[in-house]
Chain A
């Protein structure tokens, strides 16, 4: 526990708890606009806020944040408490504090922050799905769910998609003792050329290269003209006044001679 929290807890412990009569009289003063009475009411009930915040400690949020949120809930409760109804303040404040803390945890739980309406819709969606399954023994379709919840299928699909938990591309896959692969490594690259295709292409190029030697000069020249491949692209043909095919054939003969 941090020193700051320890100091805070010590300070909080000093303030006395209120009796029911004190609560009523302070509430009356708060109604008339007395800010000191409001402060006293809040300080006297901070222990309640802390005890509720501590119950949500293991939900992925720091205790300091939870206490902060529970205090915000407590302040709301102080502002809205109606002493005429005859309940104890703690009974009323408890709900506001819990609501505030729960809302904070729900907002922090996912990487994608969902608005309260969407979270409520998700909760209703879960409830409705469970009820449907219990009644009919089968899962409801999206259309049926949308109809039951009174929303469009597009809205329902959108909310469901937003609620899905994102995972990190750098998260490890498999056991920690494994080869140390990440999620990133398991995603196929659909744009990459497969080894088979590359080999096939190479093989085709080689056979065409072989077939090219069998072309006559006239055939090669017509292919060049038809495909718009200029004879002047390579410098050697121009330099020696012969076609590429003639050069290839000369080269081939020279290599044979050398062997």
Chain B
């Protein structure tokens, strides 16, 4: 579906340049395809945004909002994604360092 005419993101677009040393969707798709999960860049983006929505849902609910549109908008917001980067990297490193006791 084509982008609606006159659409302009209010908070700009999320990028992986700057502080985040991440990959663009095309590189993610290539990496995932190579490891057995066949996908193109659009799927990589959709999967990423779906994951972001999953993470945004409890936070939005915490602040009394369960409107799916708002959750989707929050998930796309580069400020939210930047905040998630900090939290998720903290959680993942915590998980790797201490929580896992197999």
| Chain A interface (Cβ < 8 Å from any Cβ of B) | 203-205, 207-212, 214-215, 218-229, 233-237, 240, 244, 247-248, 250-251
Contacts and interface: CB of A to CB of B under 8 A. Distances in A.
Given A218-B47, A219-B54, A226 B28 contact: yes
Given A205-B91, A225-B27, A235-B96, 8 more contacts: A208-B58, A218-B37, A218-B47, A219-B50, A223-B51, A226-B48, A229-B89, A233-B92
A248 B99 CA distance: 8
Nearest to B24: A226
B79 to A, nearest CB: 14
Contact of A228 (B16, B44, B54, B55): B16
B23 A223 contact: no
Nearest to B47: A222
A203 B62 CA distance: 9
B66 interface: no
Interface in B1-41: 16, 20-23, 25, 27-28, 31-32, 35, 37
A126 to B, nearest CB: 54
Contacts of A221: 32, 35, 37
B93 interface: yes
Contact of B54 (A211, A226, A240): A211
B43 to A, nearest CB: 9
A211 B21 CA distance: 24
Given A208-B87, A234-B97, A240 B28 contact: no
Interface residues of B, number: 40
Given A218-B47, A221-B32, A225-B28, A211 B92 contact: no
A165 B78 CA distance: 50
A219 B51 contact: yes
Contact of A233 (B16, B93, B100): B93
A228 B20 contact: yes
Q: Which of A214, A218, A220: most chain B CB closer than 10 A?
A: A218
Nearest to A223: B51
Contacts of B96: 233-237, 244
A77 to B, nearest CB: 74
B22 A227 contact: yes
A215 B58 contact: no
Contacts of B20: 227-228
Contacts of B21: 228
22 contacts: A204-B87, A207-B59, A209-B91, A210-B58, A211-B58, A215-B54, A220-B51, A221-B35, A222-B28, A222-B32, A222-B47, A222-B51, A226-B48, A227-B85, A227-B88, A228-B16, A233-B96, A235-B96, A237-B96, A240-B102, A244-B96, A251-B101
Contacts of A208: 55, 58-59, 84, 87-88, 91
Contacts of B57: 211
Nearest to A219: B51
A210 B61 CA distance: 13
B95 interface: yes
A225 B23 contact: yes
A220 to B, nearest CB: 7
